[in-house]
Amino acid sequence: MLRHYYIIDSLDELDIIEHELQSFGIDKSQTHTLTNDDESLSKHHLYQVDDALKKGLMKNGDIGAAIGMLVAVSILLMTYIQGWYLGPLGGMPMILLALVIVVFCTWEGENLDIHLPDINSKVFKQSLENGKSILFIDIEQQHELTVNKIMRLHPMLKPEGITSTTPEWLLQQQKKFRSLLK
């Protein structure tokens, strides 16, 4: 998956763009809008960026560390329940395994942070402070030409970059989860 970033002045234009993208098979959950004007965003029924991501509170390293801690605690709890700590080496191998898992998950999360642009980068911050909005579009390779064709039809839209993003299988799970909540 690729994530395209665009900067635009008008939420009305953004609403039109989102409808065009949907008509060409790009799901609403693949588009995200970041703006300081949340009221207007809700009036236009645009899909906004999560608050945690918007505020920069959750970094991938933190998420990785939390996952690592959960797995480590599970391993240590299983070691205690199964009595594996009573063996000739004691519980030391399992403690080391738990520690390695925490370190690995944290490292992997930080590694993801390096590859993803920061929402609070200078370009995005300046644009948001100037009243502009940022459109993120997560697309598959097969939709690349379609998105580019639609974007060329909107001269107010300024391309800001492309990065790799969330794997397709995770997006499918998010869609299923959202449909369950409805």
More confident residue, 146 or 54: 146
DSSP string, 154-178: -TT-EEEEEEE-S-HHHHHHHHHHH
Amino acid in position 179: S
Residue 59, pLDDT score: 63
Contact assessment for residue 48 and residue 32, using Cβ atoms and an 8 Å cutoff: yes
Give the length of the chain.
182
- Cβ-based neighbours of 169, under 8 Å, separated by 6 or more: none
Q: What is the pLDDT of residues 3-13, one digit of tens each?
A: 888 888 888 88
Architecture of domain 2-55+121-181: 2-Layer Sandwich (3.30)
The domain locations on the chain are 2-55+121-181, 60-115
Instruction: Indicate the pTM of the whole model.
Output: 0.58
Q: What is the tens place of the pLDDT at every residue in 20-55?
A: 888 888 887 788 887 777 666 666 666 666 555 555
Rounded CA-CA distance 63/69 in Å is 10
Q: State the average pLDDT for the chain.
A: 78
